[in-house]
A and B are shown apart, each in its own frame.
Chain A
């Protein structure tokens, strides 16, 4: 507790307290400052550090001009009247101006009202730039520290006392905040996203087209696409196909969905057999309209379309995290009646391209007469081609992608597999199409929480067999996986222990974050009703809830008591405390005007045999007044106190 002891002695001046407040509130804003402004802030810091006297007029004018220059450089090119209408830029400008003004005022070393107010303004401004759980926690910390600093100022710089006071205030408020929070969901935002929507545009792993050329280079990013919370356990990995879009049209180097004029008519949806699962999804901004649902969606999500290909979309591009409840049947196939256009689109292939593949397809076509047999023959054929799964395939011949992949390069990932498979299936007379989306891995899940990452983007094939679209996992035909891909995919079971632990820890952190977000940030009256429903069904829950609330109150109360306990300020008194307690029990109370020595003498008068206490008295005097506070003497005092306690 050495540092605490030091803190006890520190009495911060009002200016130092104010500086601490500024450091706390400016830390997050530092992340958004442009370089010129950062340099300006640094210069001001250096000035503050080396100049201990109030700045004169010239210096302030100099700082002002520097600030204006930094501001100009920071916003150069961004600044226009049109730009000003963008609120975030305007706020950034506000932050800069505030920093300049505060710097100027701070250099005068005078505290005025504006200087006191500005930390709050900075705090409020930082809320516009950051959002999510990190900022929420930081804001709580900020509020606590500001409260502490204010109290410290009121208590003339006593850091320990003010910390105790602010802690007590915080602790007292905690149970009531929880109670208020649970009963009044209105105080939380429905979508607690700080900041402005639509500012960050990201390229997604899935974007509705599928390239086979160089553009298709994969970046296995760990960015979270969506977080899925299942009502029950996470289904096995081979069922975690999130449907994105359906691609019908082969454009040599890439695949496209059906042209919009060929929009399939919406018809009654045929529910499929299979295990039903309910789950909640938090989808992060994609700037696209797709909503990802598990194969096969059982019903449309609220406010979203579900078309005949079981692709779900919303009306507008998703620019802020959205949350939806969904329900799916975990089935690899579903019933569908193809109209003429779709049948054509899913059977069409270019006769002039991929001659080798066509030859092989014809062989299969002739040997087998039913689509399902042909399909298994296709799989067998792929398996025999000794194809290697790699994330860095060699460039394919764009005009004959299937030939090039199957007979020449033999290197590729899901895109190449799916594309070749579909081309060949069509050549073999089976209507087929490519499905792109995400395929998650159960290994990356925790309890009922499943994060889906950018790297989980995937493409697979669907073949139309006996009035059903049947899913084919084309990459499973690969006979080898190169090392890099194995590592990225995590299929390498000999994953180094350390890495696995980090991964696991990361997953746990994400899980906690997800739970906090679900139950705190997005706590709404829907959640409240859910909670109520759950409580009705489980009376035990109510009991546990009340019990934990009581525990919380008790804990805060005890923490409060702990913080309010009389402090043992004097080192020697701390050592003597148990002895004094013992004497108190014996009926010897130290009088107010009694010195410790007098008190011991009084006791010794009645108990002349207690030589240990006599020794304690002597050591107490030598340490307290004799200037001998060496560790040896203190040790002896301690042992004497112990001795007198035992006797």
Chain B
């Protein structure tokens, strides 16, 4: 992947990288997802640094960090909160759940029942939740990192398509490369324990998010984008094509990725860089395994960046 992170973002990535060695690209993509206003689904085995990434990302961004460990006996009220009767006051009082935070780590999201999973739906899509007919607004920004272990099958409830579609991006972290792993093993740099300092103010975050949404998409790029979308729908390779929300996510991610590189316009490279992470949880090959690389290769060997 070709990219040069703009100088204003390199400190952020550097800061996180000290805790997650050799995963600059993953970090950058996570940041891009955040600035694009989406949610992130990390799919990987335990112990590769999903939680570390989430924790340090929230710290660097200076956001409240909330964490929900999903279990099979969890109920929606455990996430959203509950109305309880205050006898002293003689009225119902709403006790906010752990979802009322700016940065939510939904750990092992596929362990809970679908009912509980879908409790997250409205929150993730609209930034509001409704309990007993009352609407509660979640803080701005609201960013969810969901993690799941794709290889575990016993006692898991695979995420419904509607839920998956609400995550903008999905990727794994993967094993660190040899060099980074050696560093980690040496223990010279803190792996997860220490904390990071906040590097951005809420105002900065807001302006970056705005900047990301203002990135220009040229007609040439939109043509390319539409070709890709059409290809996922019409090639017959996939069980179903990219939804409109998926297409919007792709656009937002492309813009955000361009912004991260300090550009005011997006290029075909940006689109290529983010397509597989946006599509990998949304598309499913009719035959054979669905992997991010396969999606990337399949799409970009058939559709050229310049029409």
Distance, CA A625 to CA B2, complexed state (A): 16
A573 touches B266 (CB 8 A): no
Least distance between B260 CB and chain A CB atoms (Å): 15
B218 touches A593 (CB 8 A): no
A624 touches B216 (CB 8 A): no
B307 touches A570 (CB 8 A): yes
Of chain A, the residue at the smallest CB distance from B268 is A595
A596 touches B307 (CB 8 A): no
B265 touches A598 (CB 8 A): no
Q: Which residues of A contact B305 (CB under 8 A)?
A: 594-596
Q: Is B279 an interface residue when CB atoms closer than 8 A count as contact?
A: no
Of the candidates B218, B272, B297, B307, the one whose C-beta lies within 8 Å of that of A625 is B218
- Tell me whether A595 and B221 are in contact in the complex, defined as CB-CB below 8 angstroms, given that A570-B306, A621-B267, A624-B306 are known contacts: no
In chain A, positions 565-605 with a C-beta closer than 8 Å to chain B are 569-570, 572-573, 592-598, 601
Of chain B, the residue at the smallest CB distance from A626 is B265
Least distance between A613 CB and chain B CB atoms (Å): 15
Q: Which residues of A contact B264 (CB under 8 A)?
A: 626
Q: Which residues of A contact B220 (CB under 8 A)?
A: 570, 572, 624-625
A592 touches B304 (CB 8 A): yes
B216 touches A596 (CB 8 A): no
Q: Which residues of B contact A625 (CB under 8 A)?
A: 216-218, 220-221, 265-268
Q: Is A627 an interface residue when CB atoms closer than 8 A count as contact?
A: yes
* A622-641 interface bits toward B, Cβ cutoff 8 Å, 1 = contact, 0 = none: 10111100000000000000
A624 touches B267 (CB 8 A): yes
Of the candidates A592, A595, A597, A626, the one whose C-beta lies within 8 Å of that of B218 is A626
Of B296, B297, B304, B307, most A-chain CB atoms within 10 Å: B304
- Tell me whether A596 and B218 are in contact in the complex, defined as CB-CB below 8 angstroms, given that A621-B267, A625-B266, A625-B267 are known contacts: no
Distance, CA A82 to CA B217, complexed state (A): 74
A624 touches B300 (CB 8 A): no
Distance, CA A622 to CA B266, complexed state (A): 10
Of chain A, the residue at the smallest CB distance from B304 is A592
Q: Is B269 an interface residue when CB atoms closer than 8 A count as contact?
A: yes
Least distance between B177 CB and chain A CB atoms (Å): 21
Least distance between B50 CB and chain A CB atoms (Å): 29
A573 touches B306 (CB 8 A): yes
Residues of chain B at interface, number, CB under 8 A:
22
- Tell me whether A626 and B216 are in contact in the complex, defined as CB-CB below 8 angstroms, given that A596-B306, A598-B2 are known contacts: yes
Q: Which residues of B contact A627 (CB under 8 A)?
A: 216, 218, 265
Of chain B, the residue at the smallest CB distance from A601 is B2
Of chain A, the residue at the smallest CB distance from B1 is A598
Q: Which residues of A contact B266 (CB under 8 A)?
A: 625
In chain B, positions 254-268 with a C-beta closer than 8 Å to chain A are 264-268
Q: Which residues of A contact B194 (CB under 8 A)?
A: none
Q: Is B301 an interface residue when CB atoms closer than 8 A count as contact?
A: yes
Q: Which residues of A contact B304 (CB under 8 A)?
A: 592
Distance, CA A570 to CA B224, complexed state (A): 13
Q: Which residues of A contact B297 (CB under 8 A)?
A: 593
A592 touches B265 (CB 8 A): no
Of chain B, the residue at the smallest CB distance from A629 is B218
Q: Which residues of A contact B218 (CB under 8 A)?
A: 624-627
Of A595, A601, A621, A625, most B-chain CB atoms within 10 Å: A625
Least distance between A625 CB and chain B CB atoms (Å): 4
In chain B, positions 175-218 with a C-beta closer than 8 Å to chain A are 216-218
Q: Which residues of A contact B302 (CB under 8 A)?
A: 592
Distance, CA A625 to CA B224, complexed state (A): 11
Distance, CA A185 to CA B218, complexed state (A): 60
- Tell me whether A569 and B265 are in contact in the complex, defined as CB-CB below 8 angstroms, given that A593-B297, A626-B218 are known contacts: no
* B236-278 interface bits toward A, Cβ cutoff 8 Å, 1 = contact, 0 = none: 0000000000000000000000000000111111001000000
Q: Which residues of B contact A597 (CB under 8 A)?
A: 2, 267-269
B269 touches A595 (CB 8 A): yes
In chain B, positions 66-92 with a C-beta closer than 8 Å to chain A are none
Of the candidates A596, A601, A622, the one whose C-beta lies within 8 Å of that of B268 is A596
Of chain B, the residue at the smallest CB distance from A628 is B265
Least distance between B3 CB and chain A CB atoms (Å): 11
Q: Which residues of A contact B216 (CB under 8 A)?
A: 625-627
A593 touches B268 (CB 8 A): no
Of the candidates A570, A572, A592, A626, the one whose C-beta lies within 8 Å of that of B300 is A592
Distance, CA A596 to CA B224, complexed state (A): 13
Of chain B, the residue at the smallest CB distance from A624 is B220
Q: Which residues of B contact A596 (CB under 8 A)?
A: 268, 305-306
A593 touches B267 (CB 8 A): no
B307 touches A569 (CB 8 A): yes
A595 touches B265 (CB 8 A): no
A598 touches B269 (CB 8 A): yes
Q: Which residues of B contact A624 (CB under 8 A)?
A: 218, 220-221, 267-268, 306
A595 touches B307 (CB 8 A): no
Distance, CA A627 to CA B264, complexed state (A): 10
Least distance between B10 CB and chain A CB atoms (Å): 20
Distance, CA A626 to CA B218, complexed state (A): 7
Least distance between B223 CB and chain A CB atoms (Å): 10
Of A569, A592, A593, most B-chain CB atoms within 10 Å: A593
In chain A, positions 256-289 with a C-beta closer than 8 Å to chain B are none
Distance, CA A601 to CA B268, complexed state (A): 14
Of chain B, the residue at the smallest CB distance from A576 is B306
Least distance between B26 CB and chain A CB atoms (Å): 21
Of chain A, the residue at the smallest CB distance from B263 is A626
Of chain B, the residue at the smallest CB distance from A591 is B301
Distance, CA A240 to CA B224, complexed state (A): 75
Distance, CA A592 to CA B302, complexed state (A): 7
Least distance between B72 CB and chain A CB atoms (Å): 42
Least distance between B294 CB and chain A CB atoms (Å): 12
Q: Which residues of B contact A621 (CB under 8 A)?
A: 265, 267
Distance, CA A598 to CA B302, complexed state (A): 17
Distance, CA A274 to CA B84, complexed state (A): 134
Least distance between A606 CB and chain B CB atoms (Å): 15
Distance, CA A593 to CA B224, complexed state (A): 12
* B275-307 interface bits toward A, Cβ cutoff 8 Å, 1 = contact, 0 = none: 000000000000000000000110011101111
Q: Which residues of B contact A593 (CB under 8 A)?
A: 272, 296-297, 300-301
Distance, CA A195 to CA B171, complexed state (A): 77
Distance, CA A597 to CA B304, complexed state (A): 12
Q: Which residues of B contact A595 (CB under 8 A)?
A: 267-269, 272, 305-306
Distance, CA A358 to CA B296, complexed state (A): 114
Distance, CA A236 to CA B162, complexed state (A): 97
Distance, CA A573 to CA B220, complexed state (A): 11
- A interface residues, Cβ below 8 angstroms from B: 569-570, 572-573, 592-598, 601, 621-622, 624-627
- 18 A-B residue pairs with Cβ-Cβ distance under 8 Å, sorted by A, are A572-B220, A592-B304, A593-B296, A593-B297, A595-B269, A595-B305, A596-B268, A596-B305, A597-B268, A598-B269, A624-B218, A624-B220, A624-B306, A625-B221, A625-B266, A627-B216, A627-B218, A627-B265
Q: Which 6 A-B pairs have the closest CB atoms?
A: A593-B300, A595-B305, A595-B268, A626-B265, A625-B267, A592-B301
Task: Known pairs A570-B307, A596-B268, A625-B267; list 16 more (Cβ under 8 Å).
Answer: A573-B306, A592-B301, A592-B302, A592-B304, A595-B269, A595-B306, A597-B267, A597-B268, A597-B269, A621-B265, A624-B221, A625-B220, A625-B265, A625-B266, A626-B264, A627-B218
